[in-house]
Structure 1
Amino acid sequence: MADPRDPIVRLDGISKRFGKTTALHELHLSIAPGEFVTFLGPSGCGKSTTLRLLGGFEKTDSGRILLEGKDVTALPPNKRNVNMVFQDYAIFPHMTVAQNMAFGLELKGLDRAAIDRRLNEIMSFLELEPFAGRYASQLSGGQRQRVALARALAPDPALLLLDEPLGALDAKLRGQVQIELKAIQRQTHKTFFFVTHDQDEALTMSDRIVVMNAGRVEQDGTPEELYFRPATRFVAEFIGETNLIDGTVRGIDRDRSEVVMDWRGIELRGQAPAGVPAAGQDVTASLRLERLSFHEGRPDTPNAVRGRIVNRTFLGSRMAVDLQVEDVSGARLRAFTDHDTTSRVGDAPVWIGWDSASLAVLTS
């Protein structure tokens, strides 16, 4: 019997080339049962190739794919305990919702009674009973997405692959379906492998995010780790909005586990998520906009600079404020703040502070 702590998916050094282009470079990855893992990255980074290799729609050039401890590298899609939700949903237009959902169960060889039981169960769970007799053309975008998910879940796969399944939805519906999809994943305890290029979507839904760039993993971690403690400049820039501060390492304060860096004559203190840089090394640090605080006098924080507000942008629930930093020619910082803070500050010089844990010192 398999140990429930064992990974449900293991990729052992898989590589894939298309002609002279290498789409994946020896990817190693493990996914735990019940985990919602998102592959995030720009077009051409290798995320969709990984999904297609997992589904059996492409063959690896090297490496192994293990599912539930079994080597499935050479098996076709219908021989893997995996199902997929496509970007365009791929609902059969000549079949009703119920017929679409029954299709995979029929392929598994279930008898009519077993199929009906499973259909009733999954339609009740996803609240699809009113639509059982409808065709795809009679459904809204959100309803089609739910039907595609129900059809993929009906055969009870070990792993569900989702290839940008929310891309066709408008912004408001997309937000609603994100919450619904994550709730379904938690309730079913299914393992989801989700592919997207949308950073907000990845942060909202994932237990874990794997950021891909040019066929390699840039960083693998929780949404909070990737957002607040990016390991590379690529991750810091790709996920959300951040201030990037270029400087030189003065040294390491080992008592506090802090990197001390010079920013054009100003001493800053931060932490290095991807390893401690050497003294004298040129580095870039990432500082998220939410981490800056405003003060009338110099704050009691490890990092503090004085600046003048040069621009305000209304964002509804908050303001984005651009500040010209004193004593650093041409340097600006951007911060998110509430409306009361910016109206109180006015145009007078202000102090901006942040702690060392908020400054992620990057080594690449």
Structure 2
Amino acid sequence: MSSDPLVRLEGVTKRFGDTVALDNLTLDIAQGEFVTFLGPSGCGKSTTLRILGGFEQPTSGRVLLRGDDVTKRPPEKRNVNMVFQDYALFPHMTVRQNIGFGLELKGMGKSEIAKRQDEIMSFLELTAYGDRYPAQLSGGQRQRVALARALAPDPALLLLDEPLGALDAKLRGQVQQELKSIQRRTNKTFFFVTHDQEEALTMSDRIVVMNKGHVEQDGTPEELYFHPASRFVAEFIGETNLLTGELRGTEGNAVVMDWFGNTLRGHAPGGVPQAGEAITASVRLERLGFHAERPTTANAVQGRVVGKTFLGSRMALDLMVEEANGATLKAYVDADTGQSVGEAPVWIGWDESSMAVLRD
């Protein structure tokens, strides 16, 4: 990836009347990145996509593409293309004609268009479907045609507005892998918008979690999942145990907290709160380990299994920690481990790096 960003958003704010959809958003996107904007409805992710595409004008701030200010340029004057959720294919045009449509708008000659159509259909394995109409294609094939049409003009940036939302669960999983493979092979920059956290974790190089027009956290899928900076991120991405206690202080890089008389150690991706403040920490369900004797992990409490749920390849355990005033924890373990853990008290251990102290 180039050291200079392909896209830069500088202090972008967007208001709709009294509603602030985006509030002073500043963000860089590098060449070849697969960046996902993730968040609930109304968080500002689709507004950002529309501003990048030129379909909305920011109230203030700038949009730079390869260092060139394109803030006031219409969509057709930007080297950007978009794939919509419903694909927006022309039903009266064949696959070949749909792919060629944007090339005709660019003023390319017929022979050049035909060459590019052949190249992109071969690349996306659509050659056999060139004379078919969208209604004659499966959902996955239509998605590939929409991608082919968007990629054919060779845009610098591809915007994808929840393009997998219309697919059933099984097909969506297949297309997720295919879409990521296409992005890697083309080295195109993809800006992907979704509210589906599993989809974001599966596909992205980088995830930007949005909340009420602000960036809650920006990082790799692994960073956001295992090291959430805020309670919003911890709860929005996956399942987690939330432990509320009081901050005692720090020991080196460790944050020390009191949890019902138990001393626990973690880290604070979003910054360390003031000592004595009530704080909340996040521990992912699969990070809890079970032991007959007290483990050597940084954190250890005794608990008792009060519920089991069989989930196929794994099992969910509900645990009551009597020495923590009857607080409950939940854990994911493999099915064999789940079967072996009985009703007798067990030690539950987790590492310092597995517990993230959160911002509110």
TM-score over 0.5 (shorter chain): yes
Q: Which residue of 2 aligns with 1:197?
A: 195
Give the whole-Å Cα distance in 1 for the aligned partners of 2:336 and 2:133: 52
Moved beyond 2 Å, runs of 4+:
none
Q: Which amino acid aligns with 1:289?
A: L
Trace 1:229-268 onto structure 2 (pairs within 5 A): 229-254=227-252, 257-268=253-264
Q: Which residue of 1 aligns with 2:182?
A: 184
Aligned 8 A contact 1:292 1:354 in 2: yes
Aligned 8 A contact 2:304 2:321 in 1: yes
Q: Find the residue that maps to 2:145 and give its secondary structure.
A: helix
Q: Following TM superposition, by how much is the alpha carbon of 1:276 offset from its aligned partner in structure 2, in angstroms? A: 1.7
Q: Which residue of 2 aligns with 1:324?
A: 320
Q: Find the residue that maps to 1:100 and give its secondary structure.
A: helix
Give the whole-Å Cα distance in 1 for the aligned partners of 2:335 and 2:159: 42
Q: Which residue of 2 aligns with 1:292?
A: 288
Give the superposed CA RMSD. 0.9
Q: Following TM superposition, by how much is the alpha carbon of 1:26 offset from its aligned partner in structure 2, in angstroms? A: 0.7
Work out which of the residue numbers 79, 99, 117 in structure 1 matches 2:115.
117
Q: Which residue of 2 aligns with 1:79?
A: 77
Are residues 353 and 4 of structure 1, via their aligned partners in 2, closer, same or farther at CA, if it must alter by over 3 Å? closer
Give the whole-Å Cα distance in 2 for the aligned partners of 1:103 and 1:340: 56
Q: Which residue of 2 aligns with 1:12?
A: 10
Give the whole-Å Cα distance in 2 for the aligned partners of 1:89 and 1:316: 35
Q: Following TM superposition, by how much is the alpha carbon of 1:5 offset from its aligned partner in structure 2, in angstroms? A: 2.1
Q: Which residue of 2 aligns with 1:91?
A: 89
Q: Which residue of 2 aligns with 1:162?
A: 160
Q: Which residue of 1 aligns with 2:99?
A: 101
Aligned residues: 360
Q: Find the residue that maps to 2:324 and give its secondary structure.
A: coil
Q: Following TM superposition, by how much is the alpha carbon of 1:328 offset from its aligned partner in structure 2, in angstroms? A: 1.5
Q: Which amino acid aligns with 1:249?
A: L
Q: Following TM superposition, by how much is the alpha carbon of 1:98 offset from its aligned partner in structure 2, in angstroms? A: 0.3
Work out which of the residue numbers 327, 348, 351 in structure 2 matches 1:355.
351
TM-superposition CA deviations, 1:19-44 (whole Å, max 9, x none) = 11110001000000000000000000
Q: Which residue of 2 aligns with 1:41?
A: 39
Q: Find the residue that maps to 1:42 and give its secondary structure.
A: coil
Q: Following TM superposition, by how much is the alpha carbon of 1:345 offset from its aligned partner in structure 2, in angstroms? A: 1.6
Give the whole-Å Cα distance in 2 for the aligned partners of 1:243 and 1:4: 39
In structure 2, the gaps of 5 or more residues are: none
Work out which of the residue numbers 149, 152, 175 in structure 2 matches 1:151.
149
Give the whole-Å Cα distance in 2 for the aligned partners of 1:338 and 1:154: 46
Q: Following TM superposition, by how much is the alpha carbon of 1:275 offset from its aligned partner in structure 2, in angstroms? A: 1.1
Task: Report the TM-score when normalising by structure 1.
Answer: 0.98
Q: Which residue of 1 aligns with 2:299?
A: 303
Aligned 8 A contact 1:305 1:326 in 2: no
Q: Following TM superposition, by how much is the alpha carbon of 1:363 offset from its aligned partner in structure 2, in angstroms? A: 2.7
Give the whole-Å Cα distance in 2 for the aligned partners of 1:314 and 1:322: 12
1:280 correspondence with 2:264? no
TM-superposition CA deviations, 1:192-241 (whole Å, max 9, x none) = 00000000000000000000000000000000000000000000000000
Query: Which has the larger displacement, 307-316 or 158-167?
Result: 307-316
Give the whole-Å Cα distance in 1 for the aligned partners of 2:35 and 2:305: 40
Q: Which residue of 1 aligns with 2:57?
A: 59
TM-superposition CA deviations, 1:157-185 (whole Å, max 9, x none) = 00000000000000000000000000000
Q: Following TM superposition, by how much is the alpha carbon of 1:4 offset from its aligned partner in structure 2, in angstroms? A: 3.5
TM-superposition CA deviations, 1:133-157 (whole Å, max 9, x none) = 1111111111111100010000000
Q: Which residue of 1 aligns with 2:341?
A: 345
Q: Following TM superposition, by how much is the alpha carbon of 1:347 offset from its aligned partner in structure 2, in angstroms? A: 1.5
Aligned 8 A contact 2:312 2:335 in 1: no
Identity %, equivalent residues: 72
Q: Find the residue that maps to 2:282 and give its secondary structure.
A: strand
Aligned 8 A contact 1:304 1:352 in 2: yes
